[in-house]
């Protein structure tokens, strides 16, 4: 017996006049349920009973026939599912429907449960009851009607830590041996051979591996943005908003520490982080520029990375405070800043050079809409499909949180053609 079966049986016994607490107590004593299943059974049984009147009203809007006269087991299967849909946003919608259908006792009943619940889910009034109160989460659901629930669910999970191996200082075997000695579990990352997924950061923070520059703590999705830049040894590259330096240093590693990277940053304190990172990793090709990326001029660079300030809507698992700080006004201010940075950075390029615009936001207004506006107003640029440079990409590089255990990021690559 699982949690939903226990809750269903208990609710049916309540229909026969039994006290819910007593009914659940007997079930828990008779059947071996895990602590997790007991907690869920308690939550959905009591929750369903507390909200039974409004849940029944919702079901009646979809149910064909007299719901009051329906079979008691069927009624309670539907009630339990609707309660989970309305009040337990940690349970994905597909799981709510699938688990309810499993409780059906015949193919006909399973089909009926599926049809009624699909109708409830499509009900606009019911959807509005489920709508999150946090502004940015509502925007994510608007932008991703299919994936939105899964994305938001991922924000409640502990982020997966990644490390990046500095191949200028160490090979993978040495780093992996050190991780084993520290008792840190590790495995391959999704796409990039320089990265490893690890079980925890733990005492890695103060270990010589990190302090002496053999590794960096760097999310793999952020590393994919550097791969989209496709830095080559000897090239001249600008990293416009470089702090804390993860991308500038990774690009320098990919260039074998040969060429030039100008790391720009508007904050002296944050620029200091870039300096410290580069020194720790033994990288000498990075030069530093303290300035507002919208207000200086450079010429004839091969590539530019504009990793623009953003709402951080792709990294809410790491920065949960974003939910409280981002609103319509903040988004408008950021999109103005993003467009200003991109248009100025575009002047740095030689003809034939490329610019990569990226954010750790998944909102179209900060991403696709910025690129579309830029291309409309700058006919001397064209879009280079990201899939020609990195895996798991199409026209753009777009990685959604909740699908690969990484940050959510967006990036587009543009080429100056004249």
Question: Please, is 2 exposed, middle or buried when counting C-beta atoms within 10 Å of its C-beta (0-12, 13-18, 19+)?
Answer: middle
The residue with greater pLDDT, 207 or 78, is 78
Tracing tokens 């819910």 back to the chain, one arrives at 20
- Residue 275: pLDDT over 90: yes
Of the two residues 413 and 319, the one the predictor is more confident about is 413
Closest CA to 288 of 301, 278, 303, 299: 278
Is residue 134 pLDDT above 90, yes or no?
Answer: no
CA-closest candidate to residue 374, choices 397, 357, 396, 388? 357
Tokens of 385: 């499909």
Q: Which of 28-32, 141-145, 188-192 has the lowest mean pLDDT?
A: 28-32
Mean of all residue pLDDT scores within the chain: 93
Using alpha carbons, select from 69, 71, 77, 1 the residue that is nearest to residue 45. 77
By the 8 A CB rule, do 77 and 88 touch? Answer: no
Whether the per-residue pLDDT at 205 is higher than 90: the answer is no
Q: What is the pLDDT of residues 302-319, one digit of tens each?
A: 999 999 999 999 999 888
User: Of 226, 241, 310, 360, which is the active-site residue?
Assistant: 360
What are the phi and psi torsion angles at 115 (to 5°)? -65, -45
- Residue 414 predicted with pLDDT over 80: yes
299, pLDDT greater than 90 = yes
Kindly report whether the global pTM for this prediction surpasses the value 0.75. no
**pLDDT confidence tier of residue 131, bands split at 50, 70 and 90:** low
Low-confidence winner among 192-206, 326-340, 362-376 (lowest mean pLDDT): 192-206
Name the band, by pLDDT with cuts 50, 70 and 90, for residue 398.
very high
Do 411 and 396 meet the contact criterion of CB atoms below 8 Å apart?
Answer: yes
Lowest mean pLDDT among 204-218, 264-278, 394-408: 204-218
Residue 12 appears among annotated catalytic residues: no
Mean pLDDT of 289-299: 95
Confidence label for 31 from pLDDT (cuts 50, 70 and 90): confident
- The β-bridge relationship of strands 260-265 and 236-239 is parallel
């Amino acid at each position: 017996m699982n949690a939903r079966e226990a809750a269903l049986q208990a609710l049916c016994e309540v229909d026969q006049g039994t006290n819910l607490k007593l009914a659940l107590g007997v079930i828990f004593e008779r059947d071996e349920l895990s602590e997790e299943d007991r907690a869920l059974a308690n939550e959905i049984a009591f929750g369903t009973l507390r909200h039974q009147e409004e849940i029944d009203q919702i079901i009646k809007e979809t149910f064909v026939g007299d719901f009051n006269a329906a079979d008691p087991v069927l009624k309670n299967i539907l009630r339990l599912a609707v309660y989970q849909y309305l009040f337990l946003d940690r349970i994905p919608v597909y799981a709510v429907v699938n688990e309810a259908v499993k409780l059906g006792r015949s193919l006909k009943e399973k089909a009926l449960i599926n049809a009624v619940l699909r109708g409830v889910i499509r009900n606009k009034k019911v959807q509005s009851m489920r709508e999150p109160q946090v502004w940015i989460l509502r925007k994510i659901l608007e932008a991703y009607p299919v994936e939105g629930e899964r994305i938001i669910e991922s924000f409640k999970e502990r982020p997966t830590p990644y490390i990046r191996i500095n191949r200028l200082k160490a090979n993978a075997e040495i780093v992996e041996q050190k991780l084993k000695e520290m008792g840190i579990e590790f495995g391959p990352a999704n796409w990039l051979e320089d990265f490893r997924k690890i079980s925890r950061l733990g005492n890695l923070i103060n270990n010589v591996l990190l302090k002496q520059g053999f590794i960096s703590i760097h999310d793999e999705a952020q590393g994919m943005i550097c791969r989209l830049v496709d830095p080559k040894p000897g090239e001249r590259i600008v990293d416009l908003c470089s702090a804390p330096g993860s991308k500038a240093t990774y690009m320098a590693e990919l260039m074998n520490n040969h060429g030039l990277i100008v790391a720009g940053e508007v904050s002296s304190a944050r620029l200091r982080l870039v300096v410290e990172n580069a020194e720790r990793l033994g990288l000498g090709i990075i030069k530093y520029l303290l300035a507002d990326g919208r207000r200086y001029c450079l010429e004839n660079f091969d590539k530019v990375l504009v990793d623009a300030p953003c709402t951080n809507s792709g990294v809410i698992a790491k920065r949960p405070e974003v939910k409280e700080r981002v609103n319509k006004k903040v988004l408008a201010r950021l999109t103005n800043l993003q467009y200003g940075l991109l248009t100025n950075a575009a002047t740095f390029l030689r003809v034939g050079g490329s610019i990569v615009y990226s954010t750790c936001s998944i909102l179209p207004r900060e991403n696709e809409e910025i690129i579309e506006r830029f291309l409309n107003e700058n006919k001397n640029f064209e879009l280079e499909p990201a899939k020609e440079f990195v895996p798991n990409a199409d026209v753009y590089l777009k990685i959604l949180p909740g699908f690969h255990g990484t940050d959510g990021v967006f990036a587009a690559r543009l080429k100056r053609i004249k």
